[in-house]
Amino acid sequence: MKYKGVIFDLDGVICFTDEYHYEAWKALADRLGIYFDKEINNRLRGVSRMASLEIILERSDVTYSQEEKEAFATEKNDNYREMLKNMSEKDLSDEVRDTLNELRNRGYLLAIGSSSKNTKTILNQIGLGNFFDAISDGTNITNSKPDPEVFLKAAEFINLKPEECVVVEDARSGAEAAYRGHFACAGIGEAAEYEHTDYPLNTFSDLLKVL
Ligand code: BG6
Ligand code: MG
């Protein structure tokens, strides 16, 4: 086997929370009178909560204090977490479930590498709370993607070197993080277009052709 482990991004790879992020940021932006649309939301993929807020505030004429910014991030997150309660095992596709099970059968160590501090909540909601061998997420990093920290920690948690792992990503920032960390990268969507992506995938189950 060329690789021993697979590190998965969460949002946009295992499940889809983009729409909830959008709705929650949109509610905050509307309240503050700041223009926000799906194109701006797209720039938030893979980016930490506070960095996302900074991107939204680029359109604001007001300069907010750190305390106010933290309150805004909390407001968005509380709203977002309410929305996450709607998620269930139905939000895990058969394709993703079957592919994960097959990779496990083939003997790979499987980990999560996500910028989200809500990773464990989301995994529990979709029925994967106890599935992965390790979880590296927004709670154990200081630098968010495209910094490779979240993937380096994931590899460390499963006792593998970056060269022994494939990262699966959908965001450009995540594919860049994989490249900067010396990981091979399998990319879906915009990450499939990234120049350093090793394995562009049309669909998640294409992973079985690579691994
Ligand atoms: C990433 C999302 O998974 O998590 C980003 O792609 C999000 O859009 C980031 O900003 C942080 O999420 P959370 O749940 O910690 O606010
Ligand atoms: Mg993603």
Block mean pLDDT (10 aa), the chain, length 211: 97 95 98 96 91 97 97 98 97 98 98 97 98 98 95 98 98 96 97 97 97 95
- Give per-residue pLDDT as tens, 105-117: 999 999 999 999 9
Q: Give the distance (Å) from ligand 1 centre to CA of residue 106.
A: 30
Which amino acid, one-letter code, is at 67? E
Specify whether 61 is catalytic: no
Domains in the chain and their CATH numbers? 5-16+89-210 (3.40.50.1000), 18-84 (1.10.150.240)
Q: Which ligand neighbours the alpha carbon of 79 most closely?
A: 1
Q: What number does the ligand 1 atom closest to the CA of 73 have?
A: 16
Residue where the block lists tokens 């277009």: 193
pLDDT on residue 46: 86
Q: 126-144: buried (b, 16+ CB within 10 Å) or exposed (e) per residue?
A: bebeebbbbbbbeeebeeb
CA distance 166 to 185: 5
Residues 136 and 154 sit within 8 Å (Cβ to Cβ): yes
pLDDT on residue 99: 98
**Beta bridge partner(s), residue 110:** 6
Regarding the beta carbon of 116 and ligand 1, being less than 6 Å apart is answered yes
CA distance 39 to 23: 13
Q: Which ligand neighbours the alpha carbon of 54 most closely?
A: 1
Specify whether 147 is catalytic: no
Angle between helices 18-32 and 66-84 (to 10 degrees): 140
Regarding the beta carbon of 181 and ligand 1, being less than 6 Å apart is answered no
Regarding the beta carbon of 48 and ligand 1, being less than 6 Å apart is answered yes
Residues 88 and 21 sit within 8 Å (Cβ to Cβ): no
Phi, psi of 82 (to 5 degrees): -60, -45
pTM of the model: 0.96
Q: What number does the ligand 1 atom closest to the CA of 51 have?
A: 10
Regarding the beta carbon of 173 and ligand 1, being less than 6 Å apart is answered no
Q: Give the distance (Å) from ligand 2 centre to CA of residue 49.
A: 13
Q: Report the half-sphere exposure of 3 (CA within 13 A, side-chain side).
A: 25
Regarding the beta carbon of 79 and ligand 1, being less than 6 Å apart is answered no
Look up residue 200 and give its two tokens: 């562009």
Regarding the beta carbon of 45 and ligand 1, being less than 6 Å apart is answered yes
Q: Which of 9, 137, 147, 170 is catalytic?
A: 9
List, edge to edge, every strand of the sheet that includes 134-136.
134-136, 109-113, 5-8, 165-169, 184-188, 199-201
Torsion sign (Cα): 172, 185, 154, 14: positive
3-class secondary-structure state, position 82: helix
